[in-house]
């Protein structure tokens, strides 16, 4: 629905191939409007930092954040300080 109203949408995910499949489906449902893939693994803090830097370099503000797919169990958390 956000794409249909000309919002800028980022789809953050670990798997680029799965994200791109979802982006194609969204484009088909919104007359070709596309979301942007943002690589992000929430279990890896360096990935979170990297994604934040990529997003901040492209956008001035984040107006909404929707989280989906988390089952409530952290199986592995990489606390690497990098």
The confidence score (pLDDT) of residue 67 equals: 80
pTM: 0.79
Q: Select from 70, 52, 48, 66 the least CA-distant residue to 9.
A: 66
pLDDT in tens, 20-38: 999 999 999 999 999 999 9
Q: Select from 13, 8, 34 the least CA-distant residue to 23.
A: 34
What is the helix (H) or strand (E) element at residue 10, kind and residue range?
strand 10-13
pLDDT in tens, 37-79: 999 998 888 999 999 999 999 999 999 888 876 666 666 666 6
Region at 6 (left for phi over 0; alpha for psi -120 to 50; beta for the rest):
left
């Amino acid at each position: 629905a956000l794409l249909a109203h000309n919002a800028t949408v980022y789809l953050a995910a670990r798997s680029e191939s799965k994200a791109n499949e979802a982006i194609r489906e969204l484009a088909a449902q919104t007359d070709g409007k596309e979301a942007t893939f943002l690589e992000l693994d929430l279990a890896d803090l360096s990935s979170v930092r990297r994604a934040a830097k990529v997003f901040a370099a492209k956008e001035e503000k984040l107006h909404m954040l929707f989280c989906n797919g988390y089952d409530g169990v952290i199986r592995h958390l990489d606390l690497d300080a990098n």
